[in-house]
């Protein structure tokens, strides 16, 4: 009887998380919630953006009524930016954040981060990327030195595993079996 093992999969997706100026005092508490939610913090930095940098970061919001208040708020103090990774990172982070309006979040998603830490629609405590492509763009903006290699998926991931990972594992396990150590650890 042959046991069929599922094909190995690579579960890595990145998103940008920002702890905004008014809740930076809750940084450790928020990071703990992030880690307990299955995310890995790949990179982290504390910085203060200028109003011009905030305008560039939120360029897609330009022209909206709240844009001047948003850039003033985001440049009012230091922020903590983090690159988070896990399976379906963007969608899980958006789910953990809850609705962008903290007042609505308290009603519809009372355990979300914005319900817990936000005060209103503008001061919602945390930022999250809306899509994989916006996450890549935002990560490059905040972490310009970051190397964002595309994560292989589908056939490309299987080819990578077959070409690089499986031969290395096979060689290592074969060498281990030949040695037959008394205590393999």
The residues carrying an active-site annotation are 127
For the chain, the residue count is 185
Classify burial at 12, counting beta carbons within 10 Å of its beta carbon; exposed 0-12, middle 13-18, buried 19 or more.
Answer: middle
- What does the DSSP 8-state code read for residue 16? E
- Alpha carbon 179 to its chain centroid, in Å, reads 42
Buried b (16+ CB within 10 A) or exposed e, 138-167: bbeebbeeeeeeeeeeeeebeeebeeeeee
Question: What is the C-alpha to C-alpha distance for residues 67 and 114, in angstroms, rounded to an integer?
Answer: 19
The region, left, alpha or beta by phi > 0 then psi within -120 to 50, assigned to residue 180 is left
Contacts of residue 52, defined as CB under 8 A and 6 or more positions apart, other chains included, come to: none
């Amino acid at each position: 009887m042959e046991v069929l093992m599922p094909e190995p999969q690579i579960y890595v997706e990145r998103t940008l998380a920002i702890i905004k100026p008014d809740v930076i005092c809750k940084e450790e508490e928020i990071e703990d919630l992030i880690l307990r939610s299955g995310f890995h913090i790949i990179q982290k930095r504390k910085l203060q953006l200028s109003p011009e940098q905030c305008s560039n970061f939120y360029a897609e919001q330009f022209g909206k009524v709240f844009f001047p208040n948003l850039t003033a708020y985001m440049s009012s103090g230091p922020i903590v930016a983090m690159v988070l990774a896990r399976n379906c990172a963007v969608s899980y982070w958006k789910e953990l954040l809850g609705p962008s309006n903290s007042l609505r979040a308290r009603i519809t998603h009372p355990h979300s981060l914005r319900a817990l830490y936000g005060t209103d629609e503008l001061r919602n405590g945390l930022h999250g990327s809306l899509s994989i492509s916006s996450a890549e763009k935002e990560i490059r903006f905040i972490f310009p030195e970051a190397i964002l290699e595309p994560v292989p998926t589908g056939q490309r991931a299987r080819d990578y595993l077959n070409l690089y990972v499986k031969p290395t594992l096979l060689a290592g396990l074969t060498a281990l079996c030949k040695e037959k150590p008394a205590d393999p650890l």
